[in-house]
Amino acid sequence: MNELSESLEHLYACHDRWIGRVNRDKSVEDPPDEWVWNQCESCRYWIPLTGKFRTDWGGCSNRESAFDGVLRFAHDGCDKFEEKATDSE
């Protein structure tokens, strides 16, 4: 693992730069219900980063999404969301 992936200072600096690129405006007064459940981190195409980044940032690997190959915030989302399979499936 790279030392920067374990640095909280580096995580916060990246987060501050990247958060402006989210797809969903969380300041919307009455957001659609699916925004609560259909978040990137719950999508089957979510690939988390490592180190300190792993809980909040990852990549999209859904070729149908406009965000394919792009780093995404875990609580963001898009209209191509597909729920992860459960362990029992």
pLDDT, tens digit, 9 for 90 and up, residues 69-78: 999 999 999 9
pLDDT, tens digit, 9 for 90 and up, residues 2-41: 889 999 999 999 999 999 999 998 788 888 888 989 999 9
Q: Counting beta carbons within 10 angstroms of the beta carbon of residue 5, is it exposed (0 to 12), middle (13 to 18) or buried (19 or more)?
A: middle
Which pair of tokens denotes residue 85?
A: 């399979």
Q: Kindly list the distances between the CA atom of residue 87 and the CA atoms of 1, 50, 77, 84, in Å, as whole numbers in the listed order.
A: 27, 22, 22, 9
pLDDT at 85 over 60: yes
73 phi, psi to nearest 5 deg: -80, 135
3-state secondary structure of 81: coil
Total-model pTM:
0.85
Which pair of tokens denotes residue 74?
A: 């875990």
44 vs 25, higher pLDDT: 44
Domain chopping of the chain, boundaries: 3-73
Q: What is the pLDDT of residue 87?
A: 65
38 phi, psi to nearest 5 deg: -95, 70
Q: What is the pLDDT of residue 12?
A: 95
